[in-house]
Amino acid sequence: MRTLFLALLSTAMATTMIAAPANAKDVSVAVTAIVEHPALDAARDGVKDALAAAGFKEGENLKFTYQSAQGNPATAAQIARQFIGEAPDVIVPISTPSAQAVVSGTRDIPVVFTAVSDPVGAQLVKSMEKPGGNVTGLSDLSPVADHIKLIKEVAPNVKTIGFLYNSGEANSISLLEGLKVAAKEGGLEVVESAATKSAEVQGAARALIGKADLIYIPTDNTIISALEGAVSVAEEAKIPLMTADTDSVSRGAFIALGFNYYDVGKQTGEVVVRILKGEKPGDIPVKVAAGTDLVVNLVAAKKMGIEIPQAVVDRASKVIKE
């Protein structure tokens, strides 16, 4: 009996030893972003945490690689080529320029983009519902109609909106067109000021003085990476500055209605997990990220000469008071 028990125990142990590696398969995920700023960094962290929640943990069974292009499209293309050469299980480009660089370089490696406003317009996928091929992801298309409603609520005297953006970024072009439509319906006018690199942001903001009653910054990585320059102009000229990026409120914008990018990253990571478990990217529809937050900064509002209605403050998910 003892001999039989030991034999059975030995067999069970052997089976367990054989099965364990299959349950802990090593995978590799490479993440790249066009630039480092709080929103994109939060998206990256959300991806990583979603992988960990699904059992893919760095240092155990996950190789997690991250590189930033530091705002340089040429560097984004270089990173894309490097990642494609390394052939990870999934590549996650954050932002439109990084996604375009990766998608143009591979038709084999699964790609899950995130923080891309207009994936179809950026030619990343043919359609949101049936992306096909090796690409899918999440869109962070801003709710521009809601932004116009918010502007009319917090600043009813505003007639012209200054749109500060990088004219070379596909996301911002799409958002500009959407904002113009929503603004026209709301009886407002949009004036543009462009900066193609972060060093030009402060000057582009200054160009809006006397032309705009309020400065609006979309989810434009070039502008947000140099947000403080625009904020200083807005404070000096007493022009309210709002953004579509909630992380920018703690950096000086007076209000934002937009996505929590950590949550966007987690939703993206959940798609990555589906692919690691065997689903094909082209079979997974591209979705607009779920959930928006309203964040207000009472200190910034005072510096910019605007008083936020109490009704708006009361429904904010976060209020900065000091």
Q: What is the pLDDT of residue 256?
A: 97
**pLDDT attached to residue 21:** 32
For residue 83, how far is the Cα from the chain centroid? 20
| Residue whose entry in the numeric block shows the structure tokens 């069970």 | 12
Annotated domain spans of the chain:
25-140+260-288, 144-258+293-320
Please check whether residue 67 is in contact with residue 75, taking contact to mean a CB–CB distance below 8 angstroms. Answer: no
CATH class of 144-258+293-320: alpha beta
Intra-chain end-to-end CA distance of the chain, in Å:
75
Residues of the chain with pLDDT under 50: 1-24
- Please state whether the predicted TM-score (pTM) of the whole model is above 0.85: no
Asked if residue 165 lies in contact with residue 223, where contact means CB atoms within 8 angstroms, the answer is: yes
The structure tokens 């299959």 sit at 22
Angle at 292 between CA 287 and CA 293, to 5 degrees: 160
How high is the pLDDT of residue 246?
A: 93
* Answer CATH for 25-140+260-288 from 3.90.76.10, 3.40.50.11540, 3.40.50.2300, 3.20.20.140: 3.40.50.2300
Instruction: Please tell me what DSSP assigns to residue 290.
Output: P
Q: What is the pLDDT of residues 200-253, one digit of tens each?
A: 999 999 999 999 999 999 999 999 999 999 999 999 999 999 999 999 999 999
Domain 144-258+293-320 in the same topology as domain 25-140+260-288? yes
